[in-house]
Homo-oligomer: A and B are copies of this chain.
Amino acid sequence: MQEVARVAGVSISTVSRILNGTARVSREKRQAVQDAIAQLNFEPNRLAQSLKRGRTMTVGVLTQDIGSSYFNETLQGVDKALANTGYAPLIVSGHWDTQDESDRIRLLIARRVDGIIILYGTLEPEQILAYTEQVPIVVTGRRIEAERACAIDLDHEAAGYAATRHLLDLNHRRIAHIKGPEEHRDAVQRFAGYRRALSEAGVDYDQRLVVNGDFREPSGLLAVMELLRRGVSFTAIFAANDQMAYGARLALYRHNIRIPEDISLIGFDDLPSSSYTTPPLTTMRQPLFDMGQTAAESLLSIIDQKRVESMRVKAELVVRETTRRLT
């Protein structure tokens, strides 16, 4: 900036004023400065600006896996909401590791982001509450009560219930479930919904119909193989997420079991690719994009000193072609 000022023959405060439109400046000087800026290819140093202003115009986003469509759809929503606001996202990944997650959050705080969005993950609410002291936070996938924080959550129990209910409504009674990991609270809630639906419908819970998975494709494949090995009969499968449903679908294909003629299959999430499996997958749609967008908007409001309510969104049943009525 020194340099620009020198070339334009003005003081650096004048340059600053022109850059920010903070005050009126004479035409000639303005022109001179703009010429100097163009000539020197000058770009104001945001670090210094932030240091001075006390705002970085950056929001940190803690994701768990940059490779997963699940997270990335949410990120897209965040990106959309941030566009044209002057804020830029600083995306970091916790890799589903509590230690890693804390480290990343601390990094974000050290970089003085103006706010943080935490997408799921394994951090305890108390832990997050503590960070709330230092920076506004919006979380998804859990509830939280604090001054400068809010949560956007989905009722996974109800959604698990709805998925199972759909199968029940189609006259299925022998419904297998491929569970998500024990440590995911969402997964256990979906499972709880499954059991409640069963019990309400007067269907006995059969433990042999439930197999553990880890939310990834291979585990879905393995789960179906296990089910087949057990020799237990079933007419439908509820997979706790779409990725495992893909794996299950492949295992079924390998055994020449047709979908939906022989077995009905329902997933959870509605990933973009789920409309393009063959046949297209029936699933519980999570409004991931919207949640990301809302999270970002809420965060900006909090930063803006406005009060924001936590909210709960709903999953929606998307009936496509992998479920069929039993006659």
Contacts and interface: CB of A to CB of B under 8 A. Distances in A.
Q: Which of A47, A109, A280 has the most CB of B within 10 A?
A: A47
A76 B280 CA distance: 28
Interface in A47-85: 47-48, 50-51, 56, 66-69, 72-73, 75-76, 79
A41 B280 contact: no
A249 interface: yes
A109 B69 contact: no
A111 interface: yes
Interface stretch (A21-29, A86-94, A184-192, A202-210): A86-94
Nearest to A51: B47
Given A50-B47, A56-B47, A91-B89, A67 B280 contact: no
A107 interface: yes
B66 A276 contact: no
Contact of A46 (B44, B68, B111, B253): B111
Contacts of A246: 273, 276
Contacts of A92: 88
A106 interface: yes
Interface residues of A, number: 48
A56 B46 CA distance: 11
A100 B75 CA distance: 18
A246 B280 CA distance: 11
Nearest to A73: B67
A295 to B, nearest CB: 15
Contacts of A107: 88
Interface in A106-125: 106-107, 109-112
B72 A66 contact: yes
A75 B221 CA distance: 27
A233 interface: no
Contacts of A157: none
A181 interface: no
A272 interface: yes
Contact of A47 (B75, B112, B280): B112
B47 A111 contact: yes
A301 interface: no
B90 A90 contact: yes
Contact of A217 (B48, B69, B90, B276): B276
Interface of A: 41, 43-48, 50-51, 56, 66-69, 72-73, 75-76, 79, 88-93, 106-107, 109-112, 133-134, 217, 221, 246-247, 249-250, 253, 272-273, 275-280
Nearest 4 pairs between A and B by C-beta?
Answer: A253-B278, A246-B276, A67-B76, A46-B110
